[in-house]
Structures are given as structure tokens and as C-alpha cells.
Amino acid sequence: MALLVVTAVLWSLSGVAVKLAQMDPLAFTLYRSLAGAVGLALFLPLTRGRRPDPRWMLASMAAFVLTVTLLITAMTVGKAAAGILLQYTSPVFCALLAWAFQGRRIGRHTLLAMVSASLGVTVMIVGAPAGQGAVGPICGLLSGLTFGILILILEKLEHLAGGQANPCLIVLLNNLGTVVVLLPLCLASGVLRATPYQLAIVLTTGVVQMAIPYVLFQLGLRRANAVTASLLVMLEPVLNPVWVALFAGERPDAAIYVGGAAILAAMVLEVTAPAAAPGGGRPAADT
């Protein structure tokens, strides 16, 4: 449990890193993924598992690129708290996609979670103060959608590998894919220039906020059940705006507090849903 708490704390540093670095979101995402990939490559010899299916791995890389780019953009152009909280709508999107394309049943817990999350999103977008713009919240919500897609793809990769996929290799390839996709875009738009201060922040973030907590998360999952892990890592969206407020001076508005509480309530409902439905059906929440 201590490992999972530390994981959530390290993951929650993304918002304050984005605000302190003040970089173009594409460049920030590129440098962070590059540093994260290097860090994960160092841990790769210590991990085990099968190589992922190439076709589905490409789909995973595409979904990962969209997810991280949209999230960093949301936290850069809007409130960091809104961006990270809106990304936590991903289990709801995941359940909807699993129902639409895989025929999975949506249980009562998931339905309640959908209602709560929908209310939260509505409050955060409609209740945002005038002049803030809708780009940040929309990117945050889209990152939740693409993250939901990513979850289903990762599940497919695990299934194709017989439950023995190498998760460290998958995350490493996802980060390398991000570098490959974003590098030409950053070169074309001329946003790669950064001061030593900015580079120090973003490269440290790639190692401390991506590579290290991933390894800690894997170690924590060996000793804690999935529900406990899911609840503990929800410290991330709670702590993220706290660090931003303390070190970057950005305060969430009332709509973020109310809408964020509804989204967090939805996630609690989702992760505490029954593992299996009566009659043998598997709820979409289990993804």
C-alpha cells in the first residue's frame, strides 16, 4: 500500500511540472516521453513477459500519443485540476466502448458512475468562469476518451499474450512511439527550444513522474488487490491541484471543486463494482 501511495504522489506531479516549465505542450510531451523511455529501458532487463502483438501495439501507441498529448495540452492551456479530473472519466468511456463494440453488460454501479461523471463534466464545462475558454476542458475530456480506448487495447494485448505480456516493454514502446510521432511535428513548428531550467523540469518529470512510479506500481500490484490499487491511485487527481496551488499559485474555481467531486465519486463507484455479475456476465467496469 505504501508503494501505491508513493506511486500516486509521483504521478500527481505532472500538473505542477507543466505549470512551472511553461513549455509548448507538444515539446513537453515529447521530452517527458523521451526521458520516461530512457528510464524504463534501464528497468527492462529486470522484467519478464511476452512481446506484444505488433498490430495491436501500434494501436496502443496511437492511443497513448493522443492521451498524453491531450492531457498535457489541457493542463497547459487550462486549469491543471480540470485536465486531470476530466481524464479520470476514462473508465466511463471504457465501459461505453466495451458495451458498444464488445457486447459487455453495463452493471448498476457503472450506470451510477456514468450519471455522476456526466454531471461532473457538465458542471466543470458549463460552470467555468467566462474568459477561460473551452479548449482546456475539451482536451481533458478527449484525453479521458482516448485513455478509455487505450485501456481496452492494453487489455487486448494482455489477452493475446495469454496474460503474460511484458507491461514494462509496452509502456516503453508507447513512450518511444510518442517521441517518433511528435518529433517531426515539434521540428516543423519550431517549439523544441528550451532553457536549461525547462529541460531540467521536464526530463526529471519523465523519470520521476513516469518511469519510477510505473515500476513502483507494478511492485505494489503484487501485494495489493486491484480495488485497493485503484482507490489508492485516485490520490493522483486529488493531489495534482494541491501541488499546483502550492507551487504555481493556480487555484481551482468552484465548478472544478463540485464537478471534480462528482467525477471522483463516479470512480469510487466504478472501482468498487462487483467483480462479476450474477449469471456469469462480466460487467464493463472490470476493464
Three-state DSSP at 142 gives helix
pLDDT digits (tens, 9 = 90+) for 50-77: 999 999 999 999 999 999 999 999 999 9
Is the pLDDT at 277 greater than 60? The verdict is no
Cell of 17: 511540472
**Rg (Cα) of the chain, in Å, rounded?**
18
pLDDT surpasses 70 at 280: no
Higher-pLDDT residue of 110, 184:
184
Query: What percent of the chain is predicted at pLDDT more than 90?
Result: 57
This prediction has a pTM of 0.88
Whole-angstrom Cα distance, residue 191 to residue 21? 13
Three state DSSP letters for 169-192: HHHHHHHHHHHHHHHHHHHHHCCC
Q: What is the pLDDT of residues 182-231, one digit of tens each?
A: 999 999 999 999 999 999 999 999 999 999 998 888 788 777 776 677 77
Instruction: Give the range among 33-42, 102-111, 238-247 with minimum mean pLDDT.
Output: 102-111
pLDDT of 176 over the 90 cut:
yes
